Amino acid sequence: MIKWESKALDFINQTSRWDKEKHISSFLAFSISLVKNLLQADVALQLEFEHEHSAKVKNASPHFHNGAVVNPDPVRQLLYRNAFKTIYWPEIPSDNPLKEQLQDLLCAVIIPINIEPHNSLLLLGWSDPQTFDQGFQDCIETIRLRLREILSQTQERLYFQGIAVRFAAILHSLPHAVVFINNDGYAGWVNQKAADILGLAGPGEQLPAILSDAMTLLRNKAMNTEDIYNTAIQLFASPGNTIADWEWKLEGDPPRTYRVSCLPIASQRISGRLWIFEE
């Protein structure tokens, strides 16, 4: 007797242990492949409703299904008729709207996963008879809830990664050195200009401790160290203090003067200080 509850728990455990160093875009493909293997399906694929007039097959196994475009209207009508609940076909009806994907299969399960902005469904198919008993259905519904979480997490992570790429490109193009140090003590960021000034290997993510040490070394090269120190005391007396046109006069050949601004950054997701060095 198949222990469906164990298979559902196995799916949750394996997706929870997903290696966070792997790209988030492969998380959903991994999860769908895992469902296929755990349930011993012959076909598993995601159908994503990209917009009103198009639905595309993604993350398919076998892979030859990938990229197929499906008319979304008959599929949506099928989902509406079933109130967007999971559809169990012990025998695939001849008039189904997914004939190409279900070709040569005997039975199938259609799992709607409703996540805006692009709703999806997971299609599983078998070439041998299957018994969709209550234990199997409970397993499917557990997997459905976890897939919803995975899809939501994937979309959110990809969205924020896209924002990060765009803003990084903008900040790298600025003529000023930009340094951000997060208050959590674990995250910091510099653009190329700041990396050059601070003597860092390159731009991008940096530990706050490394940035603090580099800024201390830069400050120690200043000819007006006492003025910088006195202003710093005022700046850090309160988390909300802001300063602009703070002069750091550095020794060198030739000597350089930076106008430094320091602004507190506070939002729902992040808080820290933004440093801007203008030469």
> The sheet that has 188-190: what strands, in order across it?
204-206, 188-190, 177-182, 271-278, 256-266, 243-250
| 57 is a domain residue | yes
Q: What tens digit of pLDDT does each residue of 214-237 get?
A: 988 988 888 888 888 888 888 888
Is 270 in the same domain as 157? no
Q: What DSSP assignment string belongs to the chain? A: ---HHHHHHHHHHHHHT--TTS-GGGHHHHHHHHHHHHHT-SEEEEEEEEETTEEEEEEEESGGGTT-EE-HHHHHHHHHHTTT--EEESS--TT-TTTTTTTT-SEEEEEEE--SSS-EEEEEEESS-----HHHHHHHHHHHHHHHHHHHHHHHHHHHHHHHHHHHHHHHTSSSEEEEEETTSS-EEE-HHHHHHHT-S-SEEE-HHHHHHHHHHHHHTBS-HHHHHHHHHHHTTSTT--EEEEEEEE-SSS-EEEEEEEEEEE-SS-EEEEEEEE-
| 202 is a domain residue | yes
Q: Band the pLDDT of 17: cuts 50, 70, 90.
A: confident
Domain holding 242, by residue range, is 174-278
Neighbours of 229 (CB within 10 A): 11
Q: Tell me: pLDDT of 12 over 70.
A: yes
Overall average pLDDT of the 199-208 stretch: 89
CATH code, domain carrying 239: 3.30.450.20
Q: What tens digit of pLDDT does each residue of 48-96 get?
A: 988 778 899 999 999 999 999 999 999 999 999 999 999 999 999 999 9
Contact 135/166 with Cβ under 8 angstroms?
no
Mean of all residue pLDDT scores within the chain: 87
Is 58 in the same domain as 187? no
Please say which residue of 164, 193, 215 terminates a domain: 164
> Which range (86-100, 109-123, 246-260) has the least confidence?
109-123
Is 160 in the same domain as 179? no
Is 149 in the same domain as 34? yes
Q: What tens digit of pLDDT does each residue of 133-174 get?
A: 999 999 999 999 988 887 777 777 777 777 878 877 887 778
| 169 is a domain residue | no
Is 114 in the same domain as 207? no
The residue assigned the tokens 């559902």 is 8
How far CA 153 is from CA of 16, 61, 166, 252, in Å, comes to 12, 22, 20, 50
Overall average pLDDT of the 241-267 stretch: 88
Please say which residue of 164, 186, 214 terminates a domain: 164
Tell me what percent of the residues of the chain surpass a pLDDT of 90.
Answer: 48
Is 29 in the same domain as 125? yes
Is 119 in the same domain as 208? no
CATH code, domain carrying 30: 3.30.450.40
Give pLDDT, residue 18.
66
If one compares 17 and 250, the residue with the highest pLDDT of the two is 250
Give pLDDT, residue 50.
80
> Number of structural domains, the chain?
2
Contact 11/36 with Cβ under 8 angstroms?
no
Is 143 in the same domain as 194? no
Q: pTM to 2 decimals? A: 0.62
Q: How far apart are CA 88 and CA 139, in angstroms?
A: 13
Q: Band the pLDDT of 23: cuts 50, 70, 90.
A: low
Q: Tell me: pLDDT of 267 over 90.
A: no
Q: Band the pLDDT of 24: cuts 50, 70, 90.
A: low
Contact 97/80 with Cβ under 8 angstroms?
no
Q: How far apart are CA 144 and CA 11, in angstroms?
A: 11
Is 114 in the same domain as 140? yes
Please say which residue of 146, 164, 182 terminates a domain: 164
Is 59 in the same domain as 180? no
